[in-house]
């Protein structure tokens, strides 16, 4: 028995060892695949950060500008952040049939076009803009070009969820840091062919589960081979094939049996109402297509 227990422990040890080795190999492979190539058509030299609402400390503006420029250049896209005190008046007068969230989303798309991030008319330009309007506390994240596949409506909601508490507490510097970090995470996932869904890599998760299962199975096979070899040494033990050999005569006597219904339990779950931020497709004044989302903070 002790030998069998040791064999099972050996199987578990083999599985853990293979998982550890596999983790190192997989991590090394992930690092080696981090090739520095761009996902977009190239970035511009235009300004990246606009703070007309004065929500960011002046000392931090240059640092944010540089971080946005480095991120844009690394992935060949334009990453823009624009904070305004209020939307232009024509958005409230012309778009009377739309709510304020939709108007902020439309303003973000037009702002991107006005600043000429289209690379002088190049329709393959790729970018994303994060906009806040301070007067009604609305936000919008709109992407265009290839980034519509990297940051879609679901992604914008996830990114906003990571910034929501900071924006609610008026911690705009921290919110900006989180947006830049999340943007790079989504760019990297898209570049590696494993886009994020609700902040997760579904394909990468599947790969990990598959690898772990294979490593555990291999470890168990090694352990059971060892157990089998020990089992062959137990020649002195005879195996009984009939169940009657294990029953003491007269030890069990079932005289009566009944089924009784005792009670039932009813569980009620309240159905919660849900609300989502604005989504759908927008077009800038130049006809450029955008996708993303928006809401209040």
Query: Tell me: the pLDDT tens digits for 248-284?
Result: 777 767 676 666 666 666 566 554 433 445 555 666 6
Is residue 239 over pLDDT 90? Answer: no
Distances (CA, A) of 133 to 53, 57, 152, 159, 287: 8, 17, 21, 17, 23
Q: Specify the pLDDT at position 55.
A: 96
- Model confidence pLDDT, tens digit, residues 211-231: 677 767 777 787 667 666 766
**What pLDDT is recorded for position 269?**
54
- Paired tokens of 62: 């240059």
Q: Structure pTM? A: 0.61
pLDDT higher than threshold 90 for residue 7: no
The answer on pLDDT for 52 being more than 70 is yes
Q: Which residue has the higher pLDDT, 198 or 179?
A: 179
Strands 78-84 and 127-133: parallel
Q: What are the pLDDT digits (tens) for 159-168?
A: 999 999 999 9
Go through the domains of the chain in sequence order and give each one's CATH number: 1-235+282-297 (3.10.310.50)
Residue 25 pLDDT > 50, yes or no? no
């Amino acid at each position: 028995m002790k030998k069998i227990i040791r064999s099972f422990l050996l199987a578990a040890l083999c599985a853990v060892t293979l998982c550890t080795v596999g983790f190192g190999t997989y991590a090394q492979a992930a690092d080696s695949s981090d090739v520095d190539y761009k996902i977009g058509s190239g970035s511009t030299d235009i300004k990246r950060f606009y703070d007309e609402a004065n929500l960011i400390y002046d000392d931090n503006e240059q640092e944010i500008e540089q971080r946005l420029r480095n991120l844009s250049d690394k992935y060949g896209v334009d990453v823009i952040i624009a904070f305004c005190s209020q939307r232009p008046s024509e958005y409230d007068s012309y778009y009377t049939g739309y709510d304020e969230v939709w108007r902020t989303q439309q303003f973000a798309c037009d702002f991107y076009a006005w600043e000429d991030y289209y690379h002088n008319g190049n329709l393959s330009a790729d970018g994303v803009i994060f906009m806040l309007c301070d007067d009604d506390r609305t936000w919008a994240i709109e992407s265009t070009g290839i980034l519509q596949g990297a940051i879609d409506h679901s992604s914008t909601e996830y990114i906003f969820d990571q910034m929501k508490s900071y924006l609610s507490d008026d911690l705009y510097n921290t919110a900006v840091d989180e947006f830049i970090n999340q943007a790079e995470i989504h760019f990297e996932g898209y570049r590696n062919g494993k886009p994020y869904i609700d902040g997760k890599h579904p394909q990468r998760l599947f790969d990990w589960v598959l690898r772990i299962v294979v490593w555990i199975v291999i470890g168990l096979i090694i352990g059971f081979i060892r157990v089998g070899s020990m089992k062959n040494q137990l020649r002195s033990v005879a195996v009984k094939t009939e169940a009657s050999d294990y029953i003491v005569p007269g030890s069990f006597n079932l005289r009566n049996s009944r089924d009784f219904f005792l009670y039932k339990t009813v569980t009620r779950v309240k159905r919660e109402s849900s609300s989502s931020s604005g989504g759908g497709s927008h077009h800038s004044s130049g006809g450029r297509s955008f996708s993303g989302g928006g809401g209040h903070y």
